[in-house]
Structure 1
Amino acid sequence: MHVRTEKTDPPVTRLLDAPERLGVLHATVPDMAVPDRDFDGIAEIAAGLFDAQVALVTLIDRQWQWFKAAVGTDETRAPAEDAFCAHVAAAADSSLVVLDASTDPRFARHRQVKGPPFLRFYAGAPIMLDGQAVGTVCVLDDKPRADVSQSLIHQLRRLAALAASLFKVKDEARRRALKEAALSREEQRHAMALEAANIGSWLWDIRSGAIAGNSALKRMFGLSADSSVGARDIFGAIHVDDRGATFAKLRQAMKADDEYDGMFRIGDTGRWLLGRGRVHDRDTKGNPLTFIGVTIDVTDQQASAQRTRLLLKELNHRVKNTLAMLQSLARQTLRQTSDPAEFMTAFAGRLQAISEAHGLLSDHEWGTIRLADLIAKQLLPHVSAYADQIELHKDEVSLGPDQAVGLGLVLHELATNAVKYGSLSVPKGKVVLTARNVVEDGDTVLHLTWSEVGGPPVLEPKRRGFGSILIERSLDKVLGSSVKVEYLPAGVTALIRLPL
């Protein structure tokens, strides 16, 4: 749905050619040519508000106006210099309303005003990113209008602002995934859970070929720690005898939407690596966009066939659980936290909790670890004086991997809440933990009580956030376990039951 002009206005030409605007557009929305169903709702609301035949969410580059979402047309693009929307973007932070294009000297001679579809009405508001007009939210109709209320124009501008916010959120999520290796120290903490277990993590942007990987991955493939990595670098490092089979397994996993699982050697060193992963997201046509996975050095395990079989079975289980947990944590944290900075803080803290548990388990060859060590690892970052603020009464308790990871997340969430709202938010507050081994029907069960004392008065929250859900569900992998949180006026109390 576009309108041809006989000669592009100078302000429109300057807009289309502006390098600053094009730089912001291409940096923020590199996939502008791909329609995105996340914007369909904005177009549908705009069409309903104006009772218009056509509504669009558009992006405008030098040559094309791309339709990220459209109502009333099957077209996906139009020449940029021919579009009404280019006039809106050229005016920057200002909307454009054309009540009757046939009587407007700017548009009366346009082909689609003089001929089919005989466009008459247009209203559009600019989508602003970093101070640059990169597109519009607009509506079009073949019937002229006598007037449009300012309240409707205000709603259209709000929809454009919502579209801009959504573009920014999607761009920030993409950058976090694709530039993990180049991010700051704070952002790199997201990969600490895998680093602690010496597992290489990677995210492959299939269209560009770029691979964001952590330092463990680069070490395994013999690549420089500060180098950018592409798919050719990774496949080129694989032993020539294993390269074809590895690539075939990846292609099959993408096609069947199944998990990739393969073992191969590095050509220069002969070391054996185990890779696992799957397609992370797809476009609207089902084509894979990114592939996420992990890689483990299993050279030493290969030296002993029996040890390799046992260890690979355990590692496969752990890697699969870790990957699923990380994806679930990312999705749920992002759902609950719209602010990128808050997301980074919440997600990094949860990854740190997993990392601490993995570190202890790794030190003990994924056997068992002491409860006291896990408690210290999880609570030390949240207190300034551990001996004064954490009081522990316990029996000797050993935890297996699933128990340690799940309980570690529970302790992290309880400590985070205590720092924000509970006893650890004040200097004289503390947490009392009591851990007892209890025999029930011949089986040993851990009864762990978390009690906050000396803090501010407690009120039960009106809404259960993701942290509360995570506390209740982190031990789901341990059959028979349970967590009950009570918001007593004197302080939060958590009762944890964990079969050993």
Structure 2
Amino acid sequence: MQTFDTSTTTLPTLRRGSQLHETERRLNAVLNNASVAIFLMDDRQHCVYMNRAAELLTGFSLTEVLARDCPLHDIVHHTYPDGRPFPLEECAIDRAFPENNQERGEEVFVHKDGRFYPVGFTASPIRDDDAKIIGTIIEVRDITEEKAAAERQRLLTNELNHRVKNTLATVQSIAAQTFRGRTDDAARQMFDARMVALSNTHNVLTSQNWEAASLRSVVESALAPHALAEVDTARFDLVGPDTRLHPKVAVTLAMALHELMTNAAKYGALSVPEGRVGVHWTLERIEGGERLDLAWTETAGPTVVEPTRRGFGSRLIERQLPMEFDGSAVIAYPPGGVTCHIRIPLTALGWHGQDLVTGRATR
């Protein structure tokens, strides 16, 4: 059985030539200066090398680890956070040996002082000149701060969503007082439905920390209030690949789909039992990102007559989308059913604040 030389606290070596010794010295300097923890295990999964970052991470020195003469798992990864023993055979890091290259994941280590801490790891087997596996190398980093930051962001996002919902509820209350006795119930119901559509889109964005929204989730959420009321789910045909939408695109697209759906339910294909609605979309590669090409089609509904005036919904679709996103939106009224063709360039999603830093502030 081939093993690594563990007679020193530096990287194991097979011989001591001057050139080899200089190479080893430089390599040790690099590894000990690295901020990520690096562990080297033999074919028994016993640790034979750990850099300074690994010693700081675990609380154990290499000398202490070598003296234990047991798998590294039994030293830093032996217990689940709930107190249950953590068998070696259940360890994702151990499964990197002997087959998987670049095994990645997250685990919870146990510090020398007994506390638990989350880590992200990358593990790969080490092979000799004959491709025989003789050990494992693992890179590990403490992700405690990342986890805490993600939790803070989640709480802030939920609080933001809660306040937005309260604001929408306040708007609805003000509208109810304003509309009372001055307009019919249909207008009030339409206003409330638009508030609900906006609120539903906020829910989709909140689930993604307001970084982006799934295109399919936006479409399904916008149609859900009507789709759930239907016994025949075949009345809706949604076909297209998923992608991530910028929050501004998600909100405007959801409102456009809501207006189309509301019109279909009142006057179009969904106002009769046999009517159908199809929403088909494709994604086309363009310079700087993708372009969403979405078609709304109504069939088997009442004969369509083009309206003599444009309402709020038509103006939102045909004016807002092109104005905000340099896209296009065309609503047509053929006798067989209303159609709407929407094209929106989807620029690549960047990191938060990128527009300000790069001077590309959004309009």
Please indicate the TM-score interval, normalised by the length of the shorter structure. Answer: 0.3 to 0.5
Q: TM-score, normalised by structure 2?
A: 0.45
Q: TM-score, normalised by structure 1?
A: 0.34
Larger radius of gyration: 2
